[in-house]
């Protein structure tokens, strides 16, 4: 195992391999990289490059966490998060974005009663894993306190 993945392994906290994380990013390389990071950290992970495919897969097995890019061509990550948490209220959400227009989508989501955690890309893998552990340890799933 490479040193990079050894550093990403769970620390003292045990990661429950039964926790299913959906990774959605229209850029295949990013989706696969996030998949590898999470899988090596002990999560059960599935990756998608098309948001609608993630929704179809959730019918068979709803994820505990949706990790999604915001700016995607067919459906934004914000709209995916709203749809996912409306259908599966215990699904938690962490959004990633490297684009400025994300703020408008988040404002629209807040006006509908949704508030999702957003991290800027690129993100250090260890910071990502720490954020995921924090989110998964919180009760509920649909609405998180808004943070900027």
Sequential pLDDT tens for the chain (148 residues):
333 333 333 433 445 568 899 999 999 999 999 999 999 999 999 999 999 999 999 999 999 999 999 999 999 999 999 999 999 999 999 999 987 566 777 788 888 888 888 888 888 999 999 999 999 888 764 433 333 3
Q: What DSSP state is assigned to residue 141?
A: S
Contact 84, 56 (CB under 8 A): no
Compute and round to an integer the Cα radius of gyration of the chain: 14
pLDDT (tens digit per residue) in 16-42: 568 899 999 999 999 999 999 999 999
CB neighbours of residue 44 within 10 Å: 16
How many angstroms separate the CA atoms of 110 and 23, rounded?
A: 22
Six token digits for residue 137: 């340890």
How many angstroms separate the CA atoms of 59 and 88, rounded?
A: 9
**Residue 101 confidence (pLDDT):** 63
Residue 113 falls in which region: left (phi positive, over 0), alpha (psi -120 to 50) or beta: left
Any idea what the Cα angle at residue 28 is, between residues 13 and 116, rounded to 5°? 55
15's CB contacts (< 8 A; 6+ apart) are 41, 42, 43, 133
């Amino acid at each position: 195992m490479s040193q990079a993945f050894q550093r990403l392994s769970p620390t003292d906290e045990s990661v429950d391999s039964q926790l299913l994380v959906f990774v959605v990013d229209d850029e295949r390389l990013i989706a696969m990289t996030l998949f590898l990071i999470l899988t090596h950290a002990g999560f059960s992970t599935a990756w998608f490059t098309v948001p609608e495919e993630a929704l179809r897969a959730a019918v068979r097995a709803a994820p505990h966490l949706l990790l999604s890019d915001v700016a995607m061509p067919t459906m934004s990550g914000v709209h995916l998060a709203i749809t996912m948490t409306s259908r599966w209220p215990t699904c938690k959400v962490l959004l990633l974005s490297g684009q400025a227009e994300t703020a408008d989508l988040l404002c629209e989501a807040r006006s509908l009663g949704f508030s999702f955690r957003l991290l800027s890309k690129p993100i250090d893998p260890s910071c990502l894993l720490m954020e995921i552990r924090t989110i998964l340890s919180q009760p509920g799933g649909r609405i998180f306190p808004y943070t900027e």
